[in-house]
Amino acid sequence: MQFKAPKGTTDILPDVARRWQYLEHKAIELFSIYGYEPIVTPMFEHTEVFLRSIGISTDIVQKEMYTFADKGGRSLTLRPEGTAPVIRAYVDHNMNQLPQPVKLYYTGPMFRYERPQAGRYRQFWQMGIEAIGSDDPAIDAEAILLMINYFKSVGLKELTLYINSMGCDEDRPVYIRLLKDYAEENREKLCRDCQKRIDLNPLRLFDCKEESCQLVMKDAPKIIDYLDKECKAHFNKVRQYLDTQGIAYIIKPELVRGLDYYTKTTFEVVSPFLGAQNAIGGGGRYNKLVEEFGGPPTPGIGFAIGTERLSIAVEREGAFLSIDNKMDVFVAVPDEAARSTAINLLSALREAGISSDLDYMGRSLKGQLKYADKRGFKYTVFLGSRELESGEVVVKNMETSEQLEVPLKELVDKLSEILGRPGAVARVKGPGTGVQG
Ligand code: HAM
């Protein structure tokens, strides 16, 4: 009986996994430069954490959560996103008593029961940041800049940045009333889900993927036109900072971003190299979320990048640098006599930071060389009884086929030199190597 990975999930095989590691490594490097520290939260939370934050009437909560009861009868949910768990942890660990803002980053899998398609999965990876404690528009601009700079650092050039402001408690009620009235006037043209959204949460009308609904919403009143003085000034400041930094953006008034917790700034970056699922990252401000979890009034802002979509975009833009996945040295052992020495040699090579391996499949010498060629080693060292006796080994450059004779006891140093690995001090121990074990 053979099994496939569950629908909407994929196995990330070494070639792609290596690319992901590279993308993650670059992200962590840059997030740290901007002052962010790592946080790891559980992959599942009490369901209430997501109901409270993402919002009852969102698609995520209504249709997409992996919710289950554990053996203790608790309702738990696999995290569909990373912001709510981080804020839950911020409150749980009284991080408001730390110097503010608290800047955190995370990477890991998220889970949404969505209809799988290219760029949309049921388990997908995110890399995200959250800056908690400041309402300074400069930090909004910094978060946006960080996301853009990260994309540039991994070679993406063709990006579009959309920004919007969602207003706040002061201006929302007036706007929501207007939006509701507009939706009521157009009720007949809206799908059944949207008709329900009119009463539940009219902002969610902007999330609908139905063409007819999108057409109606195109002419709907937009929150950005109803911002109060403070929100407007905040948004203008964010724009001013972006302008100063030379960051190009498009204001997209319908960018409400599928999650209920946003206030003020929202943003999203899309790549032309992806199909329908073209958002490679998005985020925004959430000035009410800490309070929602029982903490003191505390503003916050953050974003998350989708690793799969990013990886596809970088690949399609031809921006992946060739990642060196070749091993350094294969130790070919033509006869059993030299195997112990070969194993010692392998340890010495590895201690010196030289990636190396030998045959564990009982292959003939010819078979070993074929394997070394296929697997991709830079050098092959021949170590048989003859070499043990003479104390000289042959090192073959697998690309040029050039051969070099090296005294066995100098082999590690010589290979370190050839491969440009400084400071190798390990010595081969054992018979015939000149070093006592
Ligand atoms: P989000 O827009 O729901 O925001 O997700 C962020 C990114 O995750 C998307 O732009 C996309 O690249 C990726 N993504 C989302 N769903 C899927 C999926 N089903 N398959 C593949 N990739 C996906 C958030 O999650 C917020 N927590 C971001 C945030 C942080 N806001 C404030 N702080």
Contacts from 348-353 at CB under 8 Å and sequence distance 24+?
A: 348/412, 348/426, 348/427, 348/428, 348/429, 349/412, 349/415, 349/426, 351/426, 352/412, 352/415, 352/416, 352/421, 352/424, 352/425, 352/426, 353/416, 353/421, 353/424
Q: Are residues 373 and 253 in the same domain?
A: no
**Residue at 196 is within a domain:** no
Return the pLDDT at 423: 54
Mean per-residue pLDDT for 9-31?
A: 96
Please name the residues in contact with 136: beta carbons below 8 A apart, sequence gap of 6 or more.
Answer: none
Residue nearest to atom 31 of ligand 1 (CA): 283
| Ligand 1 close to Cβ of residue 282 (< 6 A) | yes
Q: Are residues 162 and 254 in the same domain?
A: yes
| Ligand 1 close to Cβ of residue 280 (< 6 A) | yes
Percent of the chain with pLDDT over 70: 96
pLDDT category of residue 335 using cuts at 50, 70 and 90: confident
Pairing of strands 403-407, 392-397: antiparallel
**Residue at 72 is within a domain:** yes
Q: Are residues 315 and 334 in the same domain?
A: no
Residue 178, pLDDT > 60, answer: yes
| Ligand 1 close to Cβ of residue 308 (< 6 A) | yes
Contact 246, 144 (CB under 8 A): no
**Residue at 222 is within a domain:** no
Q: Are residues 56 and 152 in the same domain?
A: yes
Q: Are residues 313 and 430 in the same domain?
A: no
Q: How many domains does the chain have?
A: 2
Domain that holds residue 429: 329-436
| Ligand 1 close to Cβ of residue 128 (< 6 A) | yes
Q: Are residues 295 and 399 in the same domain?
A: no
Residue nearest to atom 11 of ligand 1 (CA): 306
Q: Are residues 273 and 152 in the same domain?
A: yes
Domain boundary among 291, 321, 351: 321
Q: Are residues 315 and 371 in the same domain?
A: no
pTM attached to this predicted model: 0.93
Mean per-residue pLDDT for 328-334?
A: 96
The secondary structure element, H or E, covering residue 103 is strand 102-111
**Residue at 212 is within a domain:** no
Q: What is the CATH number of the domain that holds 285?
A: 3.30.930.10
| Ligand 1 close to Cβ of residue 50 (< 6 A) | no
Q: Are residues 304 and 352 in the same domain?
A: no
Residue 415, pLDDT > 60, answer: yes
Return the pLDDT at 436: 43
Q: Are residues 104 and 136 in the same domain?
A: yes
Please name the residues in contact with 294: beta carbons below 8 A apart, sequence gap of 6 or more.
Answer: 91
**Residue at 176 is within a domain:** no
- Structure tokens that stand for 345 in this block: 């040699």
Residue 374, pLDDT > 60, answer: yes
In whole angstroms, what is the distance from residue 403 CA to residue 412 CA?
16
**Residue at 184 is within a domain:** no
Q: Are residues 247 and 337 in the same domain?
A: no
Residue 203: DSSP 8-state: G
In whole angstroms, what is the distance from residue 159 CA to residue 339 CA?
55
pLDDT category of residue 432 using cuts at 50, 70 and 90: very low
Range of weakest confidence among 89-93, 138-142, 315-319, 327-331: 315-319
Tokens 């018979």 map to which residue?
Answer: 431
Q: What is the CATH number of the domain that holds 390?
A: 3.40.50.800
Mean per-residue pLDDT for 379-403?
A: 95
Closest CA to 335 of 372, 412, 408, 389: 389
Pairing of strands 263-270, 250-251: unpaired
3-state secondary structure of 312: helix
